[in-house]
Structure 1
Amino acid sequence: MLFRQLEYFVALAREKHFARAAAACYVSQPTLSEAIRKLEHELDVPLVRRGRAFEGLTPEGERLVARARRLLADHDALKDEAASLRTGLTGELRLGVVPAAAGTVALLSDPFCADHPLASVRLETSLRSAEIAQRIRAFELDAGLVHPDGLDTEGLAVLPLYEERQVLVAGSDLLPDPPERLDWADAAELPLCLLSSGMQGRQVVDDAFAARGLGAVPRLEADSVVTLMAHVGTGCWASILPSSWLRTLPPPPGARVVALDGPATTATVALVIGGGPSASLMARALAGTARAVRVTGPLAQLSNPGPGQGEP
């Protein structure tokens, strides 16, 4: 059995198409197909259901592809470990990030790159927590920044990083004389633009309104914080966002940042990696960086904005 055969098998399971899998492996389709046939012959079980095109994996293939991913991950980890002994940590860190943490991931990726100058980082910043967890288990990602509340983290190691705190960001025309704090009931009456339904950041806001017996119906939804900030910048919209975003995406000129009344509405952001020996060398190195730096430090001053913060 060759690692190349396992790579082709895993690529086919991922791409679900012979031609795309071959392209991903930089080989011809006949070469990939023949290698998988040889793997089936050696294992003496059918792995792929074939018709005129790829029709899925057999039950045996579904069970064995997880083992193949683990073998390939262990193989890569062995090579990375040997390389690190020679020259220091090398290779690529594959990091998945929920949209809410896209503005704070640099607090980890920057010191990681400083600690390991021969390593590179590939970020995917539009993933959901459940997808990140699944892809870490499938060895497609090394680590992720997620919302762990309600997330199935079986088999993963979880390192809490910080608590997001929700604040109101409003156009100057809406709050010409901003109070120090604003009631959630008053916020619900504003023309709101919020993150799209189903996103974790939106769920936090909806839960906060519901806990107070309120319901807010946004006039505009978007899957981008940048888009929400652009609407706030017109002066006619308000949004409720994690204060952590204000570190990298300052509010538009004239916009008001106001704390919301009552107990702080928070959501945990955590680093997740594979548990135990399944964690890659890159993931373990990132966890070491996360323990060494204090992510909460640069964010603490954003947790309780004063009245009118963001004014020119």
Structure 2
Amino acid sequence: MLFRQLEYFVALARERHFARAAAACYVSQPALSEAIRKLEHELGVPLVRRGRTFEGLTPEGERLVLWARRILADRDALEHEVRALRTGLTGELRIGVIPAASATVTQLTDPFCTEHPLVRIRVETSLRSRDIVDRIRRFELDAGIIYADGVDTDGLTSTPLYQERHVLVAGSELLAGSTAAISWAEALDLRMCLLPKGMRGRQLIDDALATRGLVAAPQLESDSVATLLEHARTGRWACIVPRPWVSTLGPTAEVRVFDLVDPVVTAHIALVTTAAEPASVLTTALTGTARETDFATVDRRQR
């Protein structure tokens, strides 16, 4: 009964709405409200500020929700451990992925699923590194693939995966006389589409340009790397993207890929999981797969 009460309470803290929390837990709103009231009675403290609608958690509630998430995560980890002893790994693994790595996450998930066919994986893309780290700490995600630089990963286990390198993808006729490598100044002469400011991938580009006193002024911005590449495929646009994304273009004569030099822009990509002990059998297995995977082959296939 306690676990159910904690589940309802965590759902309410996440949804911040009684009806949505009840729907997420597949129970009626009165049932959810009554369970949370019983939890408050058993603990002897108010957890929820109530008016005509949900008005937030009390200070006691804000503290308890952290413990509730941890207790539920430990319960799930224990259940996974017991099932693994009986039948092998089972359960669900929730992975958050930055947009830049959504083209390479299969290098991790495919071999993991092949080795552990009873495990279900849910991948969420288009997340920022800090959001992924925060959600792992709140036990809303089990693992994440993030930019390792400039993010506070204190309390998490970080496993290096690969070094990302940015390249220019441009319509074949836009740089017909150019070699395989061009300068940033040459790139900015093109009709450019880029990730929006605020995303780490764009920050890497802007920082590189700043070292040469240059500023990007793209005509089009999108938070989808796939959208940028589709514009390049028209033959009239250029974009700057992580090299592994080039493989998603397939055989095409519409675009060419150029290395950007002086400076070369790279970033470290890592897998992060909670460092809590005992570790989850699922995240332990995922980390093991990551350490055995040669992510460098992703980049070599694009050269």
Same-fold call, TM cutoff 0.5: yes
Instruction: Report the alpha carbon displacement of residue 107 of structure 1 after superposing the two structures with TM.
Output: 0.1
- Is the contact made by 2:206 and 2:215 (CA closer than 8 Å) also made in structure 1? yes
Q: Structure 2: how far apart are the matches of 1:61 and 1:298?
A: 46
- Is the contact made by 1:99 and 1:127 (CA closer than 8 Å) also made in structure 2? yes
Instruction: Report the alpha carbon displacement of residue 94 of structure 1 after superposing the two structures with TM.
Output: 0.4
Q: Structure 1: how far apart are the matches of 2:167 and 2:286?
A: 29
Matched residue of 1:215: which SS?
Answer: coil
Q: State whether structure 2 residue 103 is matched by structure 1 residue 111.
A: no
Query: Unpaired runs of 5+ in structure 1?
Result: 306-312
Alignment of 1:186-225 (within 5 A): 186-225=186-225
How many equivalent pairs are there?
A: 303
Instruction: Report the alpha carbon displacement of residue 279 of structure 1 after superposing the two structures with TM.
Output: 4.4
- Is the contact made by 2:180 and 2:257 (CA closer than 8 Å) also made in structure 1? no
The equivalent of 2:176 in structure 1 is 176
Q: How big is each residue's C-alpha offset from its partner over 1:243-262, in whole Å with a ceiling of 9 and x where there is no partner?
A: 11123334743311111122
The equivalent of 1:309 in structure 2 is none
The equivalent of 2:91 in structure 1 is 91
The farther-off stretch of 109-118 and 280-289 is: 280-289
- Is the contact made by 2:93 and 2:121 (CA closer than 8 Å) also made in structure 1? yes
Q: How big is each residue's C-alpha offset from its partner over 1:29-74, in whole Å with a ceiling of 9 and x where there is no partner?
A: 1111111111111111110000001100000000011001100111
Matched residue of 1:276: which SS?
Answer: coil
Q: Over the residues paired in the alignment, what is the CA RMSD in angstroms?
A: 1.4
| TM-score of the pair, normalised by structure 2 | 0.96
Amino acid in the other structure paired with 1:228:
L
- Is the contact made by 2:133 and 2:144 (CA closer than 8 Å) also made in structure 1? yes
Amino acid in the other structure paired with 1:67:
W
The equivalent of 2:51 in structure 1 is 51
Alignment of 1:226-245 (within 5 A): 226-245=226-245
Amino acid in the other structure paired with 1:92:
E
Q: Structure 1: how far apart are the matches of 2:171 and 2:104?
A: 24
The equivalent of 1:272 in structure 2 is 272
Alignment of 1:30-45 (within 5 A): 30-45=30-45
Instruction: Report the alpha carbon displacement of residue 123 of structure 1 after superposing the two structures with TM.
Output: 0.6
The equivalent of 2:258 in structure 1 is 258
Instruction: Report the alpha carbon displacement of residue 97 of structure 1 after superposing the two structures with TM.
Output: 0.4
- Is the contact made by 1:97 and 1:126 (CA closer than 8 Å) also made in structure 2? yes
Q: Structure 2: how far apart are the matches of 1:293 and 1:148?
A: 18
Q: Structure 2: how far apart are the matches of 1:112 and 1:237?
A: 37
Indicate the percent of aligned positions where both proteins have the same amino acid. Answer: 62
Q: Structure 1: how far apart are the matches of 2:248 and 2:49?
A: 49
Amino acid in the other structure paired with 1:275:
A
| TM-score of the pair, normalised by structure 1 | 0.94
Matched residue of 2:249: which SS?
Answer: coil
Q: How big is each residue's C-alpha offset from its partner over 1:142-181, in whole Å with a ceiling of 9 and x where there is no partner?
A: 0000112111111111111111111111102211223131
